[in-house]
Amino acid sequence: MVFRTLAALLILCLSIGSSVALAITDEALLSNPEQIPALLADEVIAFKEVPNPHWRIDACVACHLGGENNNKMPSLRSNDYNGLCGNCHDPSLVAEYIHAVDIEPPDEFLDRMPDEFMEALERSGGVLTCIVCHDLPLQCDKESFQQAEINPLFFRGGPYSARTDLCFNCHDPEDYERYNPHDQVSDEGELDTEQCFFCHNVTPNRSSVRSIEDVTFNVAEDLKKLCTGCHPYRPHPGGSWFGATGNKGDGGPNHIKIPPEKIRKRLEIMVAKSETIMPREPETGSIFCATCHNPHERGVQFLRKADIGADGYKRLRRGKFEICLVCHEM
3-state secondary structure string across the chain: CCCCCHHHHHCEEEEECCEEEEECCHHHHHHCHHHHHHHHHCCCCCHHHCCCCCCCCCCHHHCEEEEECCCCCEEECCCCHHHHHHCCCCCCCCCCCCCCCCCCCCHHHHHHCCHHHHHHHHHCCCCCCHHHHECHHHHCCHHHHHHHCCCCCCECCCCCCCHHHHHCCCCCHHHHCCCCCCCCECCCCCECHHHHHHCCCCCCCCCCCCCHHHCCCCCCCCCCHHHHCCCCCCCECCCCCCCCCCCCCCCCCECCCCCCHHHHHHHHHHHHHCCCCCCCCCCCCCCCHHHHECCCCCCCCCCHHHHCCCCCHHHECCCCCHHHHHCCCC
pLDDT score for 166:
93
75 pLDDT tier (thresholds 50, 70, 90): confident
pLDDT score for 91:
60
pLDDT score for 252:
65
pLDDT digits (tens, 9 = 90+) for 15-55: 333 333 446 888 999 999 989 888 888 888 888 888 999 99
In the chain, what percentage of residues exceed pLDDT 70? 82
231 pLDDT tier (thresholds 50, 70, 90): confident
pTM: 0.53
| pLDDT, average across residues 227-243 | 66
pLDDT digits (tens, 9 = 90+) for 117-152: 999 999 999 999 999 999 998 998 888 898 899 999
